[in-house]
Amino acid sequence: MHLMFVGDSMTIGSAGDLTWRYRMWQHLAASYGGPFRIVGPRRTLHDVAADDAVSLDYGAPDFPERARAHLAGWGEGWYHMAPLIEDAVRAHRADTLLVSLGLIDLGFYTDAGQTADNVRRFVAGARAANPRVRAVFLPVIHNVRARDEPGFAAECDRFNELLAKAVADLDTSASPLLLASVPPDWDMDRDTYDGTHPNARGEHRLAAAFADAMHQAWEVGAEYEPVPAPRDGRRR
């Protein structure tokens, strides 16, 4: 299995983070019976001071460099990743994609319908590189803006409906697609450090959403159980 994480700021993380990518690597290392590699063109975290993805300052000293690969970016969404995914899948021979995107698109670039069009473009690009690629998509999770702006919350909900339809329409036996479940009772006060980005509790819950979907549908690994980290928290 060649697994690629695709996402926005919640996935890339910032300097000092452990990231849910780390939690997923821990889980697979503990539960997946076969060989796997985490692949992707990027390795870094976002550095808030530099306002660029230039940090290697992961909060987990046991997170090996080879497992830090991803295709994620601070402020990037379906709009940005759809043109990149074909080359990334081909270059890194990815066969499994874990995708968490959409909040940035809806906040700054595209409405729900346009964002859903980019989902379909993304899937087409991934399949052009690997016709047997499989993917798990996480719906948009409400953040502090959705809590404060009913119109934005409605647009997020509308996109999630369109995402579910796209997954159902595009799913095939050769290239299966899954829709993960938003973690039940996600609480931005308990699961994030700023109303959007996951803290340690939120990282585990995001990893669990993907891990449980893969286990239930494809018998990959096991149901998610948190693995203790050397330091379970953030530096700030």
Taking only the tens place, the pLDDT of each residue in 121-142 is: 999 999 999 999 999 999 999 9
pTM value is: 0.96
* CATH of region 2-218: 3.40.50.1110
Average the pLDDT over 176-196 and give the result: 96
Contact indicator for 210, 21 with CB cutoff of 8 Å: no
Residue 234 pLDDT > 60: no
Q: Which residue has the tokens 């409405």?
A: 111
Place 32 in a pLDDT band, splitting at 50, 70 and 90. very high
Q: Alpha-carbon distance 46 to 115, whole Å?
A: 24
Place 233 in a pLDDT band, splitting at 50, 70 and 90. low
Neighbours of 112 (CB within 10 A): 21
Q: Alpha-carbon distance 123 to 131, whole Å?
A: 10
Average the pLDDT over 92-112 and give the result: 98
Distances from the Cα of 123 to the Cα of 8, 110, 186, angstroms? 17, 18, 27
Residue 196 pLDDT > 80: yes
Residue 213 pLDDT > 60: yes
Quickly list DSSP for the chain: -EEEEEESHHHH-BTT---HHHHHHHHHHHH--S--EE--SB-PEEETTTTEEEE---S-TTS-GGG--BEE-TT--HHHHTTTHHHHHHHHT--EEEEE--HHIIIII--HHHHHHHHHHHHHHHHHH-TT-EEEEEPPPP-HHHHH-HHHHHHHHHHHHHHHHHHHHH--SSS-EEEPPPPTT--HHHHBSSSSSB-HHHHHHHHHHHHHHHHHHH--S-S--PPPPSS-S---
pLDDT value at residue 236? 43
Spatial neighbors of 176 by CB under 8 A, at least 6 apart, are 134, 217, 218
